[in-house]
Amino acid sequence: MSNIFSENQPAVTGDGKSKDTAFHFKCAKTSQDAMKLCYRYLDKIGYKVDLRDKQNGGVEDGYAFDIWKTDVGTIWFKIPFFQGF
């Protein structure tokens, strides 16, 4: 019964140490999904999200790269880039 309401951890690739190895959540269908997973990851490691610690790491091949300066070091995330009409 306890498994019914348990929350699965999202599959993630990369180690977050650089742009080339940025954390990437393959299950995220939108940029908003990916951002929620990033915040969840940061919370899981004990970092209180402060948007002033976030930097833009650029846009490449349909992805935006977010760089977070945390007390455990710099963490990179690869986010699907939303392109409007």
Smallest CA-to-CA distance from 64 within 50, 85, 78 is with: 78
pLDDT at residue 65, rounded to an integer: 97
Which has more confidence, 5 or 76? 76
pLDDT at residue 29, rounded to an integer: 84
- Report the half-sphere exposure of 18 (CA within 13 A, side-chain side): 2
Which has more confidence, 3 or 31? 31
Residue spans of the domains in the chain: they are 15-80
pLDDT tens track for 27-57: 888 899 999 999 999 999 899 888 899 999 9
Whether residue 13 is predicted with pLDDT greater than 80 in this model: the reply is yes
pTM: 0.81
